[in-house]
A and B are shown apart, each in its own frame.
Chain A
């Protein structure tokens, strides 16, 4: 009797399990049946994909140029280092130093006007009004980005190829990255009575950084890269007293303070030569 009951229970459990399994997988099984009818059913979008990044280090010497600068352009020399865990995900950093600082036309104009005013001291009302903002050499009070270190995560969702003039064929990819940028700045030092105080001070600004880039693979182990990066943060690019007083602190207060730092969406264009190690890439199934 006990044995019969046990058998009945086992059968009941088996039937219930089978029924549950049928209910659980019915829709999926039907969908798969449709997919299986095609010759490419279940096949990946790309077969034999050359995985230029997977399990490789990337060392990319790079030159970067700032965009839309108000007073001074910066040319960075540096490199990007990445380790690619998969073909689509990497962890690394971009580091660079300000190799050249080039004043804009506006800075040249201000410098010229300021020099003319100072050549005849005491004769210009403008000289008096700008005494706290324009030092003897305007270009020396301009803020500069001296170095940048930006640890970042890179995702490579798009991978493809490019035909150029029907004769040159390149593998290419489009990637996005994001991280934090530590920017070494040199800008005008805060001061209370600033008429004769145009000293500079260094600080580190921490900002989000993000952007996108293209890689064009020229052989098994190297690529040419083009990248756009944003690094928004506030800094006092001209060394001027523009805020801190009046309503909403939007008027000058005759002091150089943190309020004088204006928010800038700093933009950088980068050209790089990417070298991948080891030199041989993997190929997907």
Chain B
């Protein structure tokens, strides 16, 4: 009877210590070496938690493990049953030239230059991932001709905040000459030069300065980021003949186009997001001439001569609002920094 409380206590103690703890005692050796190596990254960021305590989370241990064999331990708390330094002794026996000769006191006194980011593990890392975007855009600033278009974009994130990529739109079948134009022509006898677009393509840089998270209805949390994008490319455009449609038949011409915009990306998981973007494509548009030649035929000043069809050039803004989806590839990634 008296021994039963002791047995219960032992059972409770066994229950309190999860199985992971026992595994971590062995992994602790790895954690010391591995973390010391893994936390010195290419950006010179040194993790403050390099001591490799036995309570390190599974993720951190997992990240450190592959690097364990490469780098000798240079400090930290040794845990486990194996005597400290036995791994180093083995290395020294095999290859004396590779035997590390470190003054541990000096190394310990060296300033660490610690840097901890406010958010160590952003929800979705973008670095070294491709982003494939597909969506539908609608013009925001042309009250005369609608320019809806399907969009595709491919970006590659060189860093977590900077990407290089390409995008394109296909407008040709979707240009919409609005009834309003005909009404104005009829009511005021004034024609507005109209332009339709065929396609657009651009090389872009994307910078992601802002990210955050939202709690929806106080119940679930989703993450988002905001980006700015800019680039250079081309647009294929032509006037819609409204002044002299009997004689004028315009061909598409490719124009140099610059673009700049902002976007919002809402992540549904770590590789799939909704994208809302507003971007201005600026190009020099050659408008239809407001006067029609009264000389018939394709002569030098004839109505059939394409040189007489064009009027003034105008810097045109094509502001597009895009709604779409983004897929990040590869689908998964490893965090470099601990939580």
Q: Tell whether, in the assembled complex, residue B210 and residue A44 are in contact, meaning their CB atoms are under 8 Å apart.
A: no
Q: Tell whether, in the assembled complex, residue A130 and residue B211 are in contact, meaning their CB atoms are under 8 Å apart.
A: no
Known: A46-B218, A160-B213. A68 touches B184 (CB 8 A): no
Q: Tell whether, in the assembled complex, residue A114 and residue B188 are in contact, meaning their CB atoms are under 8 Å apart.
A: yes
Known: A45-B221, A165-B209, A241-B187. A158 touches B143 (CB 8 A): no
Secondary structure at chain A's binding surface: helix, strand, loop or mixed? mixed
- 8 Å CB contact of B186 from A114, A161, A164, A252: A252
Q: Is there a chain A Cβ closer than 8 Å to B189's Cβ? A: yes
Q: Tell whether, in the assembled complex, residue A110 and residue B188 are in contact, meaning their CB atoms are under 8 Å apart.
A: yes
In residues 36-55 of chain A, which contact B (Cβ within 8 Å)?
A: 44-46, 49
Q: Is there a chain A Cβ closer than 8 Å to B284's Cβ? A: no
- 8 Å CB contact of B212 from A126, A129, A160: A160
Q: Beta-carbon contacts of B211-253 to A below 8 Å, as 1s and 0s?
A: 1111111111100101000000000000000000000000000
Q: Tell whether, in the assembled complex, residue A163 and residue B143 are in contact, meaning their CB atoms are under 8 Å apart.
A: no
- Segment among A94-102, A166-174, A203-211, A270-278 that sits at the interface with chain B: A166-174
- 8 Å CB contact of A45 from B140, B183, B186, B215: B215
Contacts of B192 in A (CB 8 A): 106, 109
Q: Beta-carbon contacts of B155-195 to A below 8 Å, as 1s and 0s?
A: 00000000000000000000000001001101111101000
**How many interface residues does A have (CB within 8 Å)?**
41
- 8 Å CB contact of B187 from A157, A161, A164, A252: A252
Q: Is there a chain A Cβ closer than 8 Å to B117's Cβ? A: yes
Q: Tell whether, in the assembled complex, residue B189 and residue A129 are in contact, meaning their CB atoms are under 8 Å apart.
A: yes
In residues 94-129 of chain A, which contact B (Cβ within 8 Å)?
A: 106, 109-110, 113-114, 126, 129
Shortest distance between the CB of A94 and any CB in chain B (Å): 22
Return the chain A residue nearest B139 by Cβ.
A68
Shortest distance between the CB of A53 and any CB in chain B (Å): 13
**CA A109 to CA B188, docked complex, whole Å:** 10
Q: Tell whether, in the assembled complex, residue A161 and residue B213 are in contact, meaning their CB atoms are under 8 Å apart.
A: yes
- 8 Å CB contact of B184 from A106, A129, A165: A106
Shortest distance between the CB of B113 and any CB in chain A (Å): 17
Return the chain B residue nearest A112 by Cβ.
B190
**How many interface residues does B have (CB within 8 Å)?**
30
Q: Is there a chain A Cβ closer than 8 Å to B141's Cβ? A: yes
Q: Tell whether, in the assembled complex, residue B220 and residue A45 are in contact, meaning their CB atoms are under 8 Å apart.
A: yes
In residues 100-143 of chain B, which contact A (Cβ within 8 Å)?
A: 117-119, 140-141, 143
Shortest distance between the CB of A176 and any CB in chain B (Å): 12
Q: Tell whether, in the assembled complex, residue B218 and residue A68 are in contact, meaning their CB atoms are under 8 Å apart.
A: no
Q: Tell whether, in the assembled complex, residue B190 and residue A158 are in contact, meaning their CB atoms are under 8 Å apart.
A: no
- 8 Å CB contact of A238 from B117, B187, B210, B220: B187
Contacts of A70 in B (CB 8 A): 143, 180
Q: Tell whether, in the assembled complex, residue B117 and residue A166 are in contact, meaning their CB atoms are under 8 Å apart.
A: yes
Return the chain A residue nearest B182 by Cβ.
A242
Q: Is there a chain B Cβ closer than 8 Å to A240's Cβ? A: yes
A selection of 14 A-B contacts at a CB cut-off of 8 Å is A45-B221, A46-B215, A68-B141, A110-B184, A113-B189, A159-B214, A162-B210, A162-B211, A163-B211, A163-B212, A174-B214, A238-B188, A242-B187, A262-B183
Seed contacts A158-B215, A167-B118; 9 additional CB < 8 Å A-B pairs: A44-B218, A106-B192, A138-B188, A157-B217, A158-B216, A160-B215, A162-B212, A163-B210, A166-B118
Which A residues have a C-beta under 8 Å from some C-beta of B? 44-46, 49, 67-70, 88, 106, 109-110, 113-114, 126, 129-130, 133-134, 138, 157-167, 169, 172-174, 238, 240-242, 252, 262
